[in-house]
Amino acid sequence: MEYFSGTKKMLDFIINDWKLLLILTLIFVVYFYYTRTFDHFEKRGVKFMKPTIFLGNLGPRITAKKSFHSFQYDIYNYFKGNPYGGIFEGTRPLLYILDPELIKAVTIRDFDYFVDRNSLNSNEPRYLKQSLLNLKGSEWKGVRSTLTPAFSSSRLRNMLPLIQHCTQQMVEFLTQYDKKDVEMKDTMGHFTLEVIGACAFGIKCDALTDENAHFVKVAEKFNYMPRSKRMCIFFLLIFMPKMMRYLNISFLYPKSIEELVKILKAAKAERRSSGIKKNDFLQLLIDAAEKEKEDSEHANTYLDDDTIDAQSLLFLIAGYETSSTLLSFAIHVLATKPELQTKLRQHVEELTNGKEMSYELLSQLHYLEGFLLETLRMYPPVSRVDRLCTKNYTLPGTSVQVRAGEVVAIPIYGIHMDPDYYPEPEEFRPERFMDDEKKNRPAHLFLAFGVGPRNCIGLRFAMFSAKLAMVSLLKNFKFSACDKTDDPIKFDRGAMLLKAAKGLWVRLEAL
């Protein structure tokens, strides 16, 4: 009788309090689901940051308490002394690689296991999906090999007159700000837009003759993202990652990207209809696509119209953002370190005065190159690089296996600011990238352009145009700190790419 009495009481409890039971069950299911991966690194014997439910270790980023660069720096220092470490982006485990030999293995020696980059995998337009950043496997290799000749030494030599013309326009543009305070990120953006428009697409952007030019206004907004959209993307990635493949969503501003693609399509159509050939990036893509069509033995066709548009768009927005970041931060360094500015100007004048500018002459400006590379060390536009494992891989010298489909991350900013590799990292010293000091440091510990086969394809173009710009800037202007100059620079806590929170303001004076 007692047995049946106990059973009856339990049934009565379930009937009367089913709502409470349902709520408790739902809480348990949710908790289990969103913590199910939290033993991932513990099982593998990998040191990891303790995660919190839903957010993983992304709390400081979601609440904008830290910039993305500072976040990567803190992660690096948390795991420093270990060859690797683990964090959680929501529920997704992410393995960080810190050891120089492991970085070399993943990015260079065993690249075949890490050919692909991690991507958003949303249902975005094909002209975004087909960019070199997102392409995977053999398709990436095919497109990359097609684009590589666009950045050869001979093509850069041919581009020199175009870039020089842009630098002359830049000098005229900046002269209007003589003895005034100027925000250099936006200002240098005008120059890089003009260079890319001229050298890559034969487009006259009017970026240096009309500050309100349509092309400029469109291009400047390409990475604009309201906080609401940022939170929406985060919510989807954390709670419904599989839904991403059905949604047209990206980190770029749709209206701006659509307008840029329209402009690039018009340039491509005009080039094809006129039959006029130019020595630029767009022409190389068009010619390669035509060759694919004509070659009946060609097993794979890579360059359809969407893929051409994707590479054109990537060249435009990536070149615009990274080059303007490099130049503006370089100018900030000049303004806040007047003795270095004097030394650099003397170096440039000594080697270039009375000489016609050439590819070979630029190659002799070793101190200028060291200055630009040191700027990129302290202020890399991107603070982390990811690689997607394509087949099961065991980290050399360890028992840690990275499974196909998992992502590894390399904290660029942390490595660049590590005193073991760059003594006194807060000190700005161009000599780090000259002579024996450069030779004695493994090349793969400088990651501003990435490293290995999947590095930045446009790095030579970027450095070439930046050197030409700096030569003109140093010969024509003096830069100094002003009341709005923020030193040291505080990074924007809401941005993914490097951005100064208060802008990069300097006082400009014509020489």
pLDDT at 13: 59
pLDDT score of 303 more than 90: no
Lowest-confidence pick of 283-287, 328-332, 339-343, 407-411: 283-287
Cα(344)–Cα(439) distance, integer angstroms: 22
Lowest-confidence pick of 151-155, 229-233, 344-348, 433-437: 229-233
Q: Over range 15-44, report the average pLDDT.
A: 84
DSSP string, 160-187: HHHHHHHHHHHHHHHHTTTTEEEEHHHH
DSSP string, 232-264: HHHHHHHH-GGGGGGS---SS-HHHHHHHHHHH
Q: Over range 62-86, report the average pLDDT.
A: 95
How would residue 7 be classed by pLDDT, with cut points 50, 70 and 90?
low
Cα(426)–Cα(333) distance, integer angstroms: 12
Cα(20)–Cα(32) distance, integer angstroms: 18
Residue 452 structure tokens:
């290995």
Look at residue 1 and tell me if it is in a domain. Answer: no
Angle, vertex CA 419, rays to CA 416 and CA 425, nearest 5 = 60
Q: Checking phi first, is residue 111 left (phi over 0); if not, alpha (psi -120 to 50) or beta?
A: alpha
Look at residue 15 and tell me if it is in a domain. Answer: no
Residues 6+ apart with CB under 8 A from 425: 378, 416, 417, 418, 419
Look at residue 171 and tell me if it is in a domain. Answer: yes
Look at residue 3 and tell me if it is in a domain. Answer: no
Cα(50)–Cα(89) distance, integer angstroms: 12
Cα(470)–Cα(330) distance, integer angstroms: 9
pLDDT at 18: 63
> How many angstroms from the chain centroid is the CA of residue 150?
20
- Reported residue count of the chain is 511
Angle, vertex CA 62, rays to CA 61 and CA 68, nearest 5 = 20
Residues 132 and 140 sit within 8 Å (Cβ to Cβ): yes
Residues 6+ apart with CB under 8 A from 165: 198
Neighbours of 489 (CB within 10 A): 20
C-alpha closest to that of 131 among 407, 390, 387, 315? 315
End-to-end Cα distance, the chain: 104
Cα(231)–Cα(222) distance, integer angstroms: 18
Residue of 453 and 211 predicted with greater confidence: 453
pLDDT score of 260 more than 90: no
Helix (H) or strand (E) holding 147, with range, is helix 137-147
Q: Over range 400-418, report the average pLDDT.
A: 97
Cα(449)–Cα(68) distance, integer angstroms: 18
pLDDT score of 4 more than 70: no
pLDDT at 419: 97
pLDDT score of 101 more than 70: yes
Look at residue 197 and tell me if it is in a domain. Answer: yes
Q: Over range 67-71, report the average pLDDT.
A: 96
Amino acid, res. 31: Y
pTM for this structure? 0.92
C-alpha closest to that of 462 among 364, 355, 336, 322? 322
DSSP string, 46-74: --BPPPBTTTBT-HHHHTTSS-HHHHHHH
Residue of 212 and 486 predicted with greater confidence: 486
What backbone torsions phi and psi does residue 20 show, to the nearest 5 degrees? -60, -45
pLDDT at 1: 46
**What is the tally of structural domains in the chain?**
1
Lowest-confidence pick of 26-40, 294-308, 401-415: 294-308
CA dihedral 262, 267, 269, 270 (to 10 degrees): 140
DSSP state of 496: S
pLDDT score of 12 more than 80: no
Helix (H) or strand (E) holding 311, with range, is helix 305-336
Strands 407-410 and 92-97: parallel
Residue 258 structure tokens:
């659509």
DSSP string, 188-211: HHHHHHHHHIIIII-----TTT-T
Residues 6+ apart with CB under 8 A from 75: 49, 57, 85, 87, 96, 411, 414
Burial (CB count <10 Å: 0-12, 13-18, 19+), residue 221: middle
Residues 422 and 392 sit within 8 Å (Cβ to Cβ): no
Cα(333)–Cα(377) distance, integer angstroms: 13
Cα(396)–Cα(177) distance, integer angstroms: 56
Helix (H) or strand (E) holding 479, with range, is strand 477-480
Look at residue 202 and tell me if it is in a domain. Answer: yes
Cα(192)–Cα(469) distance, integer angstroms: 9
Amino acid, res. 221: K
> What SS3 class is residue 64?
coil
Neighbours of 486 (CB within 10 A): 15
Which CATH number covers residue 233?
1.10.630.10
Look at residue 13 and tell me if it is in a domain. Answer: no
Residue identified by tokens 């379930």 is 14
pLDDT at 274: 85
Q: Over range 34-44, report the average pLDDT.
A: 94
Residues 450 and 415 sit within 8 Å (Cβ to Cβ): no
Q: Give the domain extent around 294.
A: 37-510
pLDDT > 90 in the chain, percent:
59
pLDDT score of 150 more than 50: yes
Q: What is the mean pLDDT of the chain?
A: 90
Cα(221)–Cα(31) distance, integer angstroms: 40
Look at residue 341 and tell me if it is in a domain. Answer: yes
Amino acid, res. 129: K
pLDDT in tens, 469-509: 999 999 999 999 999 999 999 999 988 899 999 999 999 99
333 to 415, 491, 504: CA distances (angstroms): 21, 15, 10
Residue 419 structure tokens:
């005193």
pLDDT score of 510 more than 50: yes
Residue of 127 and 225 predicted with greater confidence: 127
